[in-house]
């Protein structure tokens, strides 16, 4: 294959027929560019959908309480329902292994200060399971653990941005953070894909918060994840059952929509899954569509090139070119152009995605990117298609009687 003279012929032909080269190169580069861009943008949309829900585990159920809106069991409407530690224990006991993780939550707002730095933050007082519910990633140190809960230790796990805000460039681990006048030891720093707000939170043991800020065992919210082995219907059945039993436990009317509210993410994640599925199909359609457009384009150009070179083929044959060398010279030229142009399109596409990607976030396109393998695959497909599309007319042209090829000028 590597015949220096053959390649010299090819490079001469490429060099001296710039319009033709640019035309076919442009088609291929454009097809690959479009392929990369469209794929990237759709991927960006998918990412947006994914991250919108990565904040919480997909099998989460949130339980909130409020005031009753209906009288029931001889109790008047307007009664405040308040969860306590016992309620969390009861759920665990009642539903057993249907519950994967469970945690309480208490919300507080504090002013936190370290040395001269000072700022207001939200606090979530939680159980250790909360880490899995919230998909919290511990960067340094550790999360709240069972012994913190038992001993009501004054420790906090702070968000990455809290550390940045208050501890500036130093590490926060082991230092004492002042929350409304009480010193808490920082035992961990976390990050969260849910965004900046999630990383400006402070976690502390729920028992510590109960003792210090209320001296009771009240809970604002109970979050749990159901056993992920459950399918969609079982998950919905589980949360309906949970709702009913909680309403019985608190003597709330089953028709009361406000006193106890159970939100099952399965409902939402099903919609997301469907959307993701549709987007996935869209990606496929777009990808194939662009590729087919590219294939048609390169095929047309190959036919045009062979037509344009018919006379040259006639001359070469009259001078003693074998049919094989005619096919080879046309095919190698087109393959070379396709490879180079495909590579240009690939670089352009990925470069553009890289450059404009960040500014697209406000259009719900996050991290638009496309895998290198995919684009290379698309380029190879185009090369093969261009080769095939070129081979047929080249083969035909190589069989033309030289006299026919030379006739029309």
Partner 1 sequence: MLKISKLHKSYPIGDSSLHVLKGIDLSVESGEMVAIMGSSGSGKSTLLNIIGMLDEADEGEYILDNVPIKNLTEKKAAIYRNKFLGFIFQSFNLINYKNALDNVALPLYYQGLKRKERIEKGLFHLEKVGLKDWAEHLPNELSGGQKQRVAIARALAANPKLLLADEPTGALDTKTSHEIMDFIQTLNDEGKTILMVTHEEDIASMCKRIVRLKDGVIMEDAFVEQVRASQYV
Binding footprint of partner 1 on the chain (CB under 8 A): 4-5, 8-9, 12-13, 16-17, 311-312, 314-325, 398-399, 401-403, 406, 409
Cα gap 176→118, rounded to integer Å? 13
DSSP of 118-178: EEEEEEEEE-TTHHHHTT-EEEEE----HHHHHHT--EEEEEHHHHHHHHTTS--TT-EEE
Q: How far is the CB of 11 from partner 1 (least distance, A)?
A: 12
Q: How far is the CB of 334 from partner 1 (least distance, A)?
A: 16
In the complex with partner 1, the residue whose CB is nearer, 123 or 405, is 405
Cα gap 346→342, rounded to integer Å? 6
In the complex with partner 1, the residue whose CB is nearer, 271 or 322, is 322
Q: How far is the CB of 324 from partner 1 (least distance, A)?
A: 7
Query: What b-and-e string marks burial along 212-236, b requiring 16 or more CB atoms within 10 Å of the CB?
Result: bbeeebebbbbbbbbeeebeeeebb
In the complex with partner 1, the residue whose CB is nearer, 233 or 409, is 409
Cα gap 305→20, rounded to integer Å? 7
For residues 102 and 238, is the Cβ–Cβ distance under 8 A? no
Q: How far is the CB of 21 from partner 1 (least distance, A)?
A: 11
Q: Which residue has tokens 């004492």?
A: 176
The tokens describing 114, both together, are: 């370290």
Q: How far is the CB of 1 from partner 1 (least distance, A)?
A: 16
Which residues, at least 6 apart from 92, have a Cβ–Cβ distance to it below 8 Å?
Answer: 99, 102
Q: How far is the CB of 6 from partner 1 (least distance, A)?
A: 9
In the complex with partner 1, the residue whose CB is nearer, 319 or 355, is 319
In the complex with partner 1, the residue whose CB is nearer, 17 or 369, is 17
Among residues 408, 391, 406, the alpha carbon closest in space to that of 314 is found at 406
In the complex with partner 1, the residue whose CB is nearer, 290 or 398, is 398
Q: How far is the CB of 2 from partner 1 (least distance, A)?
A: 15
Q: How far is the CB of 313 from partner 1 (least distance, A)?
A: 10
In the complex with partner 1, the residue whose CB is nearer, 160 or 317, is 317
In the complex with partner 1, the residue whose CB is nearer, 62 or 391, is 391
SS3 296: helix
Cα gap 67→62, rounded to integer Å? 17
């Amino acid at each position: 294959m590597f015949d220096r003279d053959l390649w010299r012929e090819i490079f001469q032909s490429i060099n001296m027929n710039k319009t033709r080269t640019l035309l076919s190169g442009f088609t291929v580069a454009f097809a690959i560019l479009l392929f990369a861009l469209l794929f990237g943008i759709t991927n960006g949309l998918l990412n947006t959908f994914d991250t919108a829900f990565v904040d919480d585990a997909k099998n989460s159920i949130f339980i909130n309480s409020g005031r009753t809106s209906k009288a029931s069991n001889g109790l008047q409407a307007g009664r405040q329902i308040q969860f306590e530690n016992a309620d969390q224990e009861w759920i665990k006991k009642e539903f057993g292994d249907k519950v994967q993780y469970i945690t309480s939550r208490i919300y507080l707002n504090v002013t936190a200060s370290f040395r001269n730095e000072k700022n207001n933050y939200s606090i979530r007082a939680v159980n250790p399971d909360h880490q899995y519910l919230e998909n919290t990633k511990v960067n340094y140190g550790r999360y709240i653990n069972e012994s913190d809960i038992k001993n009501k230790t004054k420790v906090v796990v702070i968000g990455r941005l809290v550390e940045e805000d208050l501890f500036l460039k130093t590490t926060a681990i082991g230092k004492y953070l002042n929350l409304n006048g009480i010193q808490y030891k920082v035992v961990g720093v976390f990050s969260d894909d849910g965004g900046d707000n999630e990383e400006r939170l402070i976690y502390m043991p729920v028992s510590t918060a109960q003792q210090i800020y209320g001296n009771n065992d009240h809970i604002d919210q109970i979050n749990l994840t159901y056993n992920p082995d459950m399918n969609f219907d079982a998950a919905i059945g589980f949360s309906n059952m949970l709702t009913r039993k909680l309403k019985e436990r608190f003597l709330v009317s089953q028709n009361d929509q406000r006193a106890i509210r159970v939100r099952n993410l399965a409902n939402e994640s099903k919609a997301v899954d469907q959307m993701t599925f549709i987007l996935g199909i869209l990606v496929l359609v777009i990808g194939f569509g662009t590729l087919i457009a590219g294939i048609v384009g390169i095929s047309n150009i190959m036919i045009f090139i062979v037509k344009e070179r018919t006379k040259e083929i006639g001359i070469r044959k009259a001078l003693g070119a074998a049919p094989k060398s005619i096919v080879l010279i046309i095919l190698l030229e087109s393959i070379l152009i396709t490879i180079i142009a495909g590579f240009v399109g690939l670089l352009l596409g990925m470069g553009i995605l890289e450059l404009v990607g960040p500014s697209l976030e406000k259009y719900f396109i996050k991290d638009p990117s496309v895998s290198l393998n995919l684009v290379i695959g698309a380029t190879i497909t185009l090369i093969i298609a261009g080769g095939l599309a070129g081979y047929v007319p080249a083969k035909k042209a190589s069989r033309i009687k030289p006299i026919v090829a030379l006739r029309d000028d």
